[in-house]
Amino acid sequence: MLDIRMMVSLSRIECLKWRLLQGFALICIPVALLSGCGSAVTELTRASGSGAGPLATGSTSSVTGAELAAGPIVRPANFMTSVKTYGATGDGKTDDTAAIQAALSDSRSDATGNYNGAPKALYFPAGTYLISKTLSWNGCCVMLEGAGSSTSIIRLAPSAAGFGTAGTPMPMIQTPAGISSFRENIFDLGFSIGADNPGAVAIDYVSNNSGSIRNVNILSEDGGGVAGILLTRQYAGPLLIKNVAVSGFQYGMQTSNYEYGQVMENITLKNQSVAGIYNSEQTISVRNLLSTNKVPAIMNEHGMVLLLDAELQGGASSTQAIQSLGNIYARSVTSAGYGATLLDEITATPKTVTGAITEYVNGTPLTLRGGSKASSLNLPIAETPTYEDTNLSDWAPFTPTYVNEAQLQAVLNSGASTVYFPFNTYASYNEAVVTVPDTVKRIIGFSSIVNVDASGTNGGGIRFVVNSNSATPLIVEQFGYGVKVDQQGTRPLVLNNGNYTYTSFTGAGDLFLEDMIAATPIVIQPGQQVWARQLDDEIPGTKITNNGTFWVLGLKTEKEGIVIDTSSTGQTEVLGNLIYPSSVLPSNSIMFRAATQSVSYIYSQSNYCTDCGYDIQVSEIINGVNEQVTSNPSLRYVMPLYHGK
């Protein structure tokens, strides 16, 4: 048995390198105290010089960043309560702070209340909503939705009181903090910071397990302000930031704390004054990043950054596109204008990388198969399908509060392309089983929940059966909980933004999981392809069984059990984020188990008590012999890259 033991703990105490105003100073510490700080650096196939090298097989051929629709986005009447119901005008002149705050505070005056079963959703019709104070609310499960990032805009008035000091950040929007700030969603909105607000933050964001900022444009009108999105309070994540553009501020996005992992995809950053993304301690996964900045696009302090498919342009020759004092994995990254693409400072002798990066990892890649190539599995990446029907005559609502199986099936059979549940709390105490015809391309809950009853038939809830072999994807999205989906045919399926029970059957087609909580264990069938972005799985026992092809950008788990069990027919690529067992695990617990060499893993593990981590990080059967990567279960662990071949 091959035993590879790593004890990795990248705390500020152990890796004392401090960033100075005009350079860097290294405080030397005895080597014995630095074990686990990442002494080795592996640079995998890199093209030198200023030209772009070949892109990795699994990466996109071009970087787009955010692609924001101009709007207005068409929505049916009464799909969600409008803030204008509370007196907001959206005329760009009237101060709408009090009206919007009244909408947010309605039925939520008790700060200690449990709002998990009483979600709130507010719609901002086209207009500019002028505010002068921070907007906030109590409890979880709030949706703010607009008619488009350039159509529905929340604007901070110029020189607003309280926003005038850069050292004292003040947000326009602040979600609740903590570990139960579930399903905080901000979709299809624009945020604009009026001039002379140097302390302004557009969104001070925390969401747990599930929650997204999507299709959002954030602009500082004079370039000032602290951050477009602030992720520094405990505990921001797991969450997804997708299709977001930030212009101006000191930081486009700023993070802190080890927990609980963040995924950023399709991001555009422009004209920041300190850094595009400043990451402190978090494990973040970033894909399709377009940065136009003179300052570094990414600064990583004691955190873990996975960067895929990035174009970092506009830089100054006196600095680097990426400055990293922590773990970093980069793939398919180009830069222009900078003195170097990457300054990796994790070792006593900093390493500078110029030119295009095809694949780079600091730390020693691990394998149980000697002499194999040190690279990620690099699986092909498919974009998550979307669908938007602008003809509202093709939309059909389901409105009964108590779900009736026959009524719901009739709506599905109506010929509509989009079946929607106007925002509400529904109930289905006996399970309602319905079949989704090919005419339906999208089922959207608008942040609704479906209350269930364990004493009802099959525990209640709605079960959508997808049994066709259509090539047209079906999208099921924005259900807080109470929805089950059976994938019985080859029709591609998207489960987006919610808590779902998913069941696959032999021959199941492509599956896309995005900002999803898995309510039950996931089984991937032989031949099935699955792409996941921000997947939260806290099921005890084996969480994911992979017999097909599984690519995940951002995985967070809790509780005991194998995280992914990959069979001999499977392929698995994990690109972050956080394994957090949260309690004492049985001895010899296995995190990742595989009967194939077609695996690669990059992640971190947090634990704060004795024996709360996994004893066995990786277990593989090689030529009939079980070989393992083991670790101290009482220490934090960072896997810079495990590769099975």
Q: Is the pTM of this model over 0.95?
A: no
Q: Chunk the chain into consecutive blocks of 10 residues (it has 645) and report each block's average pLDDT, rounded to whole numbers.
A: 32 28 26 30 33 36 88 94 98 98 94 90 98 97 97 98 97 95 97 98 97 98 98 96 98 95 98 98 97 98 97 97 97 98 93 96 88 83 97 97 97 98 97 98 98 95 98 98 98 98 98 98 98 97 98 97 97 97 94 95 94 96 89 95 90
Do 557 and 613 lie in one domain? The reply is yes
Output the pLDDT for position 65.
Answer: 97
Cα(60)–Cα(44) distance, rounded to whole angstroms? Answer: 18
Tell me whether residue 126 is in a domain: yes
Tell me whether residue 9 is in a domain: no
**Total domains, the chain:** 2
Output the pLDDT for position 348.
Answer: 85
Output the pLDDT for position 70.
Answer: 81
Cα(323)–Cα(339) distance, rounded to whole angstroms? Answer: 12
Do 263 and 204 lie in one domain? The reply is yes
What does the DSSP 8-state code read for residue 402? B
Tell me whether residue 230 is in a domain: yes
Do 156 and 203 lie in one domain? The reply is yes
3-state secondary structure of 379: coil
Q: Are 635 and 9 in contact (CB under 8 A)?
A: yes
Length of the chain: 645
Q: Are 641 and 374 in contact (CB under 8 A)?
A: yes
Do 589 and 548 lie in one domain? The reply is yes
Output the pLDDT for position 111.
Answer: 84
Tell me whether residue 483 is in a domain: yes
Domain boundary among 362, 384, 409: 362
Do 314 and 418 lie in one domain? The reply is no
Output the pLDDT for position 62.
Answer: 86
Do 225 and 280 lie in one domain? The reply is yes
Cα(340)–Cα(322) distance, rounded to whole angstroms? Answer: 8
Output the pLDDT for position 372.
Answer: 56
**CA 518 to chain CA centroid, nearest Å:** 15
User: Residue 152 is part of a domain; what is its CATH number?
Assistant: 2.160.20.10
Tell me whether residue 26 is in a domain: no
* CA geometry: angle 284, 268, 131, nearest 5 deg: 95
Do 490 and 352 lie in one domain? The reply is no
Q: The domain containing residue 124 runs over which residues?
A: 43-362
Q: Are 534 and 575 in contact (CB under 8 A)?
A: no
Q: Are 253 and 272 in contact (CB under 8 A)?
A: no
Do 203 and 252 lie in one domain? The reply is yes
Output the pLDDT for position 369.
Answer: 80
Respond yes or no on whether the N-terminal peptide bond of residue 235 is cis (omega within 30° of 0): yes
584-602 pLDDT, tens per residue?
Answer: 999 999 999 999 999 999 9
Do 460 and 551 lie in one domain? The reply is yes
Cα(31)–Cα(212) distance, rounded to whole angstroms? Answer: 42
**CA 195 to chain CA centroid, nearest Å:** 31
Cα(104)–Cα(106) distance, rounded to whole angstroms? Answer: 6
Respond yes or no on whether the N-terminal peptide bond of residue 603 is cis (omega within 30° of 0): no
Tell me whether residue 13 is in a domain: no
Cα(483)–Cα(502) distance, rounded to whole angstroms? Answer: 9
Tell me whether residue 301 is in a domain: yes
382-426 pLDDT, tens per residue?
Answer: 999 999 999 999 999 999 999 999 999 999 999 999 999 999 999
Cα(36)–Cα(616) distance, rounded to whole angstroms? Answer: 17
Do 504 and 550 lie in one domain? The reply is yes
473-513 pLDDT, tens per residue?
Answer: 999 999 999 999 999 999 999 999 999 999 999 999 999 99
Tell me whether residue 35 is in a domain: no
Half-sphere exposure of 118 (CA within 13 A, CB side): 11
Do 488 and 560 lie in one domain? The reply is yes
Strand partners, 628: 3, 619
Do 333 and 464 lie in one domain? The reply is no
Tokens of 131: 């505010």
Residue keyed to tokens 């929505």: 75
